[in-house]
Amino acid sequence: MQSIEQLDTPSVLVDLDILERNISRMAERARALGVRLRPHGKTHKVVEIGRMQLAAGAVGLCLAKTGEAEVFAAAGFDDIFIAYPVVGAEKACRLLALTDAVRLCVGVDSLEGARSLAQVFHTARRTLPVRLKVDVGLHRAGVGPEQAAETGRRVADLPGLRLEGVFTHAGQAYHAESPEDVESVGRREGQILADAAAALRAAGLPIESVSVGSTPTARHAMAVAGVTECRPGNYVYHDASQVSLGTCGIEDCALTVLATIVSTPAPGRALVDAGSKSLSSDPLRPRPGGHGWLLGHASRVAWLSEEHGVVEVARGESFRIGDRVRILPNHACVVSNLHDRVLGVRGDRVETELLVAARGQVQ
């Protein structure tokens, strides 16, 4: 087995011990609360990691894009929820093709969007299970809780669709002021969604799935009575933003970017060979603060250009050209998306190479 020291840089490392622990902890948490776990595969886009999640007890996968679902379906995943308002005849035809082998469910958040799927499925004399997205405060996609019953009823009336659940994503947790704030967002997320499900059921609609999302809010939203499913994604890897939010410790972060110091052009400044094309330019959450932490150092990546990371060297630290560092990125999901492969490591040994199989599946 190759040692990390022999790797060229930048390389994305996934600590398999931490990955396995993250996967089993979230599975245990869901099991303890009697909630089904459907991890979001957009974080890793790796078939082998999806299989590990299923082996730990996940009921299936959640994905964002039709193309991602196609990749995982081709790899044998047979229970997929696309948590995204997919619209249009072209994508509906691709969804139709997927339903031969996959128990597929798709998000909707409007009657117009739902209709564009319904037409294709109805014509094909098939039924597509859908879930209605409810906005619990992120103000991105989703119907407001007060419109859920009305939109749900009209969607459920469309031939070709079967409304089987509701879902949400409390992404506003990434802007929370404190761990207490995250908890409050999570509880609210679960409660609003459970209430929306109750309203839909009161309107006569047989809502089965009440599905919450997001790694920071998972433990809180899952604990709300009425929530049946949780779709965290980032928890497999975690990142500097999750640490900053209080979701986990640095020791729970599985994904790092191995980089080399390529220049020390001025006192207090060092350059690594990883820039925004390796680390992404996503900001640190909940508050901006550079572009990555150097593990085992107080120094941080202060700013990025495409292929340079500019390290602000902390007092008392110093780096020499050729030194290797491991950078904990701000946002793991977008880092893995920039790379064709990540390397599974155990200690300082490279154990396996993992293809980021669904990378680049933007459609």
Q: Which residues of this protein are in contact with its own copies, per CB under 8 A?
A: 8-11, 42, 64-65, 84-88, 90-91, 109-110, 112-113, 116, 135, 139-144, 171, 260, 262-266, 269, 271, 273-274, 276-278, 280-283, 305-308, 310, 320-322, 333-334, 337-340, 360, 362-363
For the bound state, the minimum distance from the C-beta of residue 131 to its own copies, rounded and expressed in Å, comes to: 14
Q: Which structure tokens are listed for 189?
A: 């997320």
For the bound state, the minimum distance from the C-beta of residue 105 to its own copies, rounded and expressed in Å, comes to: 17
- Give how far Cα 176 sits from Cα of 20, 216, 355, Å: 28, 10, 33
Q: Which is nearer to its own copies, 229 or 273 (CB)?
A: 273
For the bound state, the minimum distance from the C-beta of residue 42 to its own copies, rounded and expressed in Å, comes to: 6
SS (H, E, C) 44-109: CCCHHHHHHHHHCCCCCEEECCHHHHHHHHHCCCCEEEEEEECCCHHHHHHHHHHCCCCEEEEEEC
- Give how far Cα 52 sits from Cα of 15, 60, 98, Å: 14, 11, 22
Q: Which is nearer to its own copies, 64 or 102 (CB)?
A: 64
For the bound state, the minimum distance from the C-beta of residue 158 to its own copies, rounded and expressed in Å, comes to: 14
Q: Which structure tokens are listed for 346?
A: 């155990």
Q: Which is nearer to its own copies, 12 or 328 (CB)?
A: 12
Q: Which is nearer to its own copies, 20 or 317 (CB)?
A: 317
Q: Which structure tokens are listed for 200?
A: 């839909």
Of 343, 362, 243, 361, the C-alpha closest to 300 is 243
Q: Which is nearer to its own copies, 110 or 228 (CB)?
A: 110
CA distance 62 to 48: 15
Q: Which is nearer to its own copies, 36 or 169 (CB)?
A: 169
For the bound state, the minimum distance from the C-beta of residue 269 to its own copies, rounded and expressed in Å, comes to: 7
Q: Which structure tokens are listed for 49?
A: 């990691």
Q: Which is nearer to its own copies, 11 or 299 (CB)?
A: 11
For the bound state, the minimum distance from the C-beta of residue 121 to its own copies, rounded and expressed in Å, comes to: 17
For the bound state, the minimum distance from the C-beta of residue 362 to its own copies, rounded and expressed in Å, comes to: 5
Of 160, 162, 138, 147, the C-alpha closest to 200 is 147
Q: Which is nearer to its own copies, 29 or 44 (CB)?
A: 44
For CA atoms 192, 198, 204, 208, the dihedral sign is positive
For the bound state, the minimum distance from the C-beta of residue 120 to its own copies, rounded and expressed in Å, comes to: 13
